[in-house]
Structure 1
Amino acid sequence: MHHSSSSSHHLSVRLQGKGFPILCLHGHPGLGSSMSVFTNHLSQKFQTFAPDLRGYGNSRINGNFSMEDHLTDLEALLDRFQIERCLVLGWSLGGILAMELALRLPERVTGLILIATAARPRGNHPPISWQDNFYTGLASIVNRIQPGWEWNIETFGKRSLYRYLIGQHTPGAYRYLALEAMSAYLQTSAAATRALNTALGAGYNRLADLQQIPCPSLMLAGASDRHITPESSLETAHHLKDCQWHCYPNTAHLFPWEIPELVLRDIDSWLDSHPQVVTPDGV
């Protein structure tokens, strides 16, 4: 990705809390509100910014765009809120954008929290049948009406695409799916999907450039992730200069919704051991 002269799009953004800024970037499909599992917790000590990326949620846009346009938008967002330096947390596609932002603005990104992501993303997803889609639809609709209902989880959920997205089919995980995943799916534009598919189709790979990222990072992965494999996350962690790595057994791509307490505890302890990432002057 190289600098383009495209104009930035004014992003809809969810602000919470006060203190050092943490930019929280959602995945695909996703919304700023999909990051609530992180922002509701981190905003107790910090100020969290969770935008709807271009082509998602309320950041509506006409016509096609490229992945790089996301970075132009995010740089404009930092300028708009006069954010000199910030920590960036990104989930999946959001993690890819977090690494890209650290490459583009090394002096402004103090640290990276990378979740279910990779600089050379690889998946090992099995082919999807019409039954998978059918059961996913049923499970999603029933789950909207009664989130986390055990009967629905056992009958439809475990036979749907959710079996690839989560490892632990708990009512808690399904409540997140009902409250956040479904609306994110419905509010993701075709243009956003095309932009992502174009980048992945071109064989997206930034491993060789990661050594240029000076800041510390934390990489979290789900051991059963089929969308972005833990092996590809680990490969990225090895290429980053100062990266702490955690892989959670029996969880998949949406693991922050499966084991939120554990994930937040690991994030807190990383922040405690890297105080420089959340201090304004970086001392």
Structure 2
Amino acid sequence: MKKIGSGLAPNSNDRGICSLNVIVRSKGFPILCLHGHPGCGESMSVFTDHLSERFQTLAPDLRGYGKSLTQNDFDMTDHLLDLEALLEKLKIKQCLVLGWSLGGIIGLELALKRPELVSGLILVASAAKPRNSHPPVSWQDLAYTAIASLINRAIPSWQWNIDNFAKRSLYRYLVAQHTPSAYKYLADNGMTAYLQTSKPATRALNKALRQGYNRNEALALIECPCLVLAGDSDRHITAESSLETAQNLRDCEYLCYPNTAHLFPWEIPDQVLADIDRWIESHPQVVGRPNCLGAGGNGE
């Protein structure tokens, strides 16, 4: 398999490797779960709580997020260096990669740069050429979002708060189904992840976006099985851009969930997890089981 350089912003100097904080759960074939922006390893619990029942899950805080904080500016390519070092440290020679939003883009880059490390890709609300349809943000949006977040943190999933503040806030672009489940995840994971996202991480992402990130032409080089999941009302990374990614991948299944947005794993977790389970069962090689579903693997 051919390796290809990263389409992310290039390194401008040697900043070294960041030792990532990582949540490792259970044993078995490893699944590397990569969060988005803002995010952290804990925000991937909707996946790791379920997948760790059968596999080993690794949920790192990417550089500049969660407990992997830095005061220094960095480039997006540094995430790849950190992940390569993490997998080497854990003696993992191959893993299934599940990436949400920015995590999906980093997963694509890892598969292009180090194809031997990636047995399969699950891209959630992500795209190789991400496009958005988010309207301009007003001061009222910010005010309602702050109020809704504080109340939801104190009283998770309170319907009065959802109806009076959240549905008028920026949350209306993040979720289409204002369910108690979605707001419980926002209270438990969302606000903490937002507060722990550093300015260098935001600057690194904005730099890559300004440069017009587009890896569609390189996707044919990815040979492993892929699953692309999208929400049809996603304003942050549109379903159309996710579909375009799926169409450019050689071995890919695409699913688009109606009446869901960018945080659809928190809106309809049971359906999303069931579809991931089904896809893994139909592609046993992605978890080290090329011959039969009952065989085990540990990625070593």
Q: What range is the shorter-chain TM-score in? A: over 0.9
Match of 1:59 in 2: 68
Match of 2:109 in 1: 100
Deviation at 1:257, TM superposition (A): 0.1
Match of 1:124 in 2: 133
Match of 1:111 in 2: 120
Give the percent of matched residue pairs that are identical in Structure 1 and Structure 2. 64
Q: Deviations over 1:81-104 (max 9, x none)?
A: 000110000000000000000001
Please list, as runs of the form range in 1=range in 2, the aligned pairs for 1:268-283 lying within 5 A after superposition. 268-279=277-288
Q: Letter of the aligned partner of 1:155 in structure 2?
A: N
Q: Letter of the aligned partner of 1:24 in structure 2?
A: C
Q: Deviations over 1:64-120 (max 9, x none)?
A: 000000000000000000001100000000000000000011011000000000000
Correspondence for 1:163 among 167, 172, 181: 172
Match of 1:191 in 2: 200
Correspondence for 2:57 among 36, 39, 48: 48
Match of 1:204 in 2: 213
Q: Deviations over 1:30-89 (max 9, x none)?
A: 000000000000000000000000000100112100000000000000000000110000
Match of 1:87 in 2: 96
Q: Deviations over 1:211-270 (max 9, x none)?
A: 111100000000000000000000000000000010000000000000000000000000
The change in CA–CA distance for 1:136 and 1:282 in structure 2 (over 3 A counts) is farther
Q: Letter of the aligned partner of 1:249 in structure 2?
A: P
Match of 2:270 in 1: 261
Distance (whole Å) between structure 2 residues aligned to residue 62 and residue 159 of structure 1: 34
Correspondence for 1:223 among 223, 232, 238: 232
Answer whether contact 2:31 2:58 (CA < 8 A) is retained: yes
* TM-score, normalization by structure 2: 0.92
The answer for unaligned runs of 5 or more in structure 2 is 1-5, 293-300
Q: Deviations over 1:18-40 (max 9, x none)?
A: 10000000000000000000000
Distance (whole Å) between structure 2 residues aligned to residue 37 and residue 99 of structure 1: 21
Deviation at 1:7, TM superposition (A): 2.0
Distance (whole Å) between structure 2 residues aligned to residue 122 and residue 188 of structure 1: 22
Q: Deviations over 1:168-213 (max 9, x none)?
A: 0011110101110000000000000000000010000011101111
Distance (whole Å) between structure 1 residues aligned to residue 287 and residue 96 of structure 2: 7
Q: Deviations over 1:128-163 (max 9, x none)?
A: 110000000000000011000000000001000000
Residue 86 (structure 2) pairs with residue 77 (structure 1): yes
Alignment RMSD (CA, Å): 1.3
User: Counterpart of 1:107 in 2: which secondary structure?
Assistant: helix
Distance (whole Å) between structure 1 residues aligned to residue 256 and residue 171 of structure 2: 20
Q: Letter of the aligned partner of 1:263 in structure 2?
A: V
Distance (whole Å) between structure 2 residues aligned to residue 90 and residue 183 of structure 1: 19
Match of 1:14 in 2: 23
Residue 223 (structure 2) pairs with residue 214 (structure 1): yes
Distance (whole Å) between structure 1 residues aligned to residue 286 and residue 36 of structure 2: 23
Answer whether contact 1:6 1:72 (CA < 8 A) is retained: no
Distance (whole Å) between structure 2 residues aligned to residue 255 and residue 214 of structure 1: 27
The answer for unaligned runs of 5 or more in structure 1 is none
Match of 1:24 in 2: 33
User: Counterpart of 2:68 in 1: which secondary structure?
Assistant: coil
User: Counterpart of 1:136 in 2: which secondary structure?
Assistant: helix
